[in-house]
Structure 1
Amino acid sequence: MDRSMKRPDNGKNKKSSGNGHDNEILSAFEKMKKDLQKETRIKKSGSKKKITEELEIEELVSEIEVLRKELEESKNIEDEYIDRIKRLQADYDNYRKRTLKEHLEHLKRANKDLVSKLLPIIDNFEMALDAGRKLNKDDDFYRGIEMIHGKLIELLEKENVTVIEPVGEEFDPKVCEAAVTEAVEDEEEGKVLEVLRKGYMIDDFVIRPAVVKVCKKN
C-alpha cells in the first residue's frame, strides 16, 4: 500500500481552523469597538448640542443684560436732561419775574418822581379852588383853574395814582404822618380826624404820606 496516500495529518488543518475562529473573535471585537465609537460619537454630539444651546442662551442673556443697562443709562440721561430743562425753566421764570418786578419798581420810582413834582402844583390849585368857593367865585378864571385841576387829576388816575383817604380809620404810620393831635370825646383814640394835606399812592407804593390830625385822649 502506498504510504503517501496514508500520510497522517501534521496539525496544519487544525491551525487553519484555529485562525478562522480567531478571526471571528477579532471581527466581533472590531464590531463592538465600532459600536462603542458610534455610541460615543452620538453621546458627544448630543453633549455638544446641549453645550451649544447653553452657550447661545448665555449669550442671549448677556445681550439682554447689556441692552437693559444701556436702556437704564439712556433713561438716566433722559431724566438728567429733563431735570436740567426744568431747572433752566425755573431759573428763567425767576429771572423773568425778577426782571419784571425790577422794571415795575423802576417805573414806579420814575412815576413817583414825576408825580412828586406835580403834587405841589396840584396843592396850589386845590388851595385856589377852596379860596374861590369861600369867596363864591364863579367867573371864567375860576372855572379855568377848576378845569386844569381836573385834567391833572385825570393824569394821576391814568398812572394808577390814588389819594390816601384815612379819615375815620385807625392811624397807620405807613401811609400817614401825624401833625396834630386833638382830644375828641366821641372818637376813639388813634382815629384820624382830618387830612391836613393829601397823600398819594401808586398801587401799594406811597408817593407822599397824608398829613393828618389824630384823636388822642387826655
Structure 2
Amino acid sequence: MTGRSKKYQDEPIDENELDETATSEQEDDTGTGEYTELKEKIAKLEQEAFDYRDKLMRKAAEFENYKKRTSEEFVRLIETANEDLLTTLLPVLDDIERFRKNYNPEIRTEDLNKGIEMIFDKLNLILKNFGLEEIESINKEFNPDFHDALMMMEKEDVASNTVVDQHEKGYKLKNKVIRHAKVVVSK
C-alpha cells in the first residue's frame, strides 16, 4: 500500500467525483488558455486601433495639405483670371496709342471715323469672344433683373413700363448680369 490513510483506502471511490475533479483541472488549463487567447486578441485589437489611428492622422494631414494647396491654387487663379482678357486687349490698346501719336486735326473726319469704328469693332469682337453680351433694352419691357430705371416719363403711343431711352448700356457675361442698363421707362 502506498502512503494513503486507511480511512480513504477502505471507502469506495465515486466515479462522479473523479469526473468533476478531472473536469475542473481541464477548466483550469482551458481558463489559462482562454486568458492567453483573450490577451492576444486584445493586443491584436490594440495594434489594429493604433494602425487605424495612424492612418487617420495621415489622411487628416493629407487633407489639410490638399486644402492648403487648392486654396493657394484658387488665389493664384483669381489673380491671373483676367490675364487672357488683358493679353487679348493689348492690340486694341496699341491701336489707340498709335491713333493718339499720329492724330492730326487736319485728317478728314470720315477717315477718323473709319479708324475709330475699326478699333471699336475689334474691341467688341474680343469682348464677345470672352462671353460679353449687350443687354437689349430699347422698346423692351422694363425688367429689374436687367435694367435700372433712372426716371419715368409719359410717352404717347408707347405701352406703359416700356424702356424708351437708354443712358448706359447693360452687359451680361455668360448669362450673368455684370452691369444693369440705365434706362428711362414710360409711365
Give TM-score scaled by structure 2 length.
0.52
Q: Check conservation: 1:108, 1:202, Cα contact below 8 A.
A: no
Give the deviation of 1:181 after TM superposition: 3.0
SS of 2:2's equivalent in the other structure is: helix
Kindly tell me: are residues 171 and 110 of structure 1, through their superposed partners in 2, closer, same or farther at Cα, counting changes over 3 Å?
farther
What runs of 5+ residues in structure 2 fail to find an aligned partner?
A: 10-18, 97-108
1:171·1:214 contact (CA, 8 Å) conserved in 2? no
Matches within 5 A, 1:103-122: 103-108=76-81
For residues 161 and 47 of structure 1, the distance between their equivalents in structure 2, rounded to whole angstroms, comes to 93
Show the counterpart of 1:163. 133
Q: Secondary structure at the match of 1:34?
A: coil
User: Is the Cα–Cα contact under 8 Å of residues 133 and 173 in structure 2 kept in the other structure?
Assistant: no
1:143 Cα deviation (Å)? 4.5
1:214 match: 184
Q: 1:78 aligns with which of 21, 27, 51?
A: 51
Percent identity between the two aligned chains: 16
Query: In 2, distance between residues paired with 1:94 and 1:193?
Result: 51
Instruction: Please provide the CA RMSD for this pair.
Output: 4.6
CA gap of 1:162–1:198, structure 2 versus 1, over 3 A, is same
Look up the SS of the partner of 2:152 in the other structure: strand
Residues of 2 paired with 1:194 and 1:201: CA distance? 19
Q: Which TM-score applies when normalising by structure 1?
A: 0.46
Letter in 2 for 1:212: K
Residue pairs, 1:110-149, within 5 angstroms: 142-149=113-120
Shift of 1:99: 3.7
Shift of 1:162: 0.9
Q: CA deviation at 1:65?
A: 1.0
Whether the aligned pair in 1 keeps the contact of 2:135 and 2:171 (CA below 8 Å) is no
User: Quick check: which has more Rg, 1 or 2?
Assistant: 1
Inter-partner Cα distance in structure 1 for 2:147 and 2:164: 12
Equivalences, count: 155
The equivalent residue for 2:42 is 69
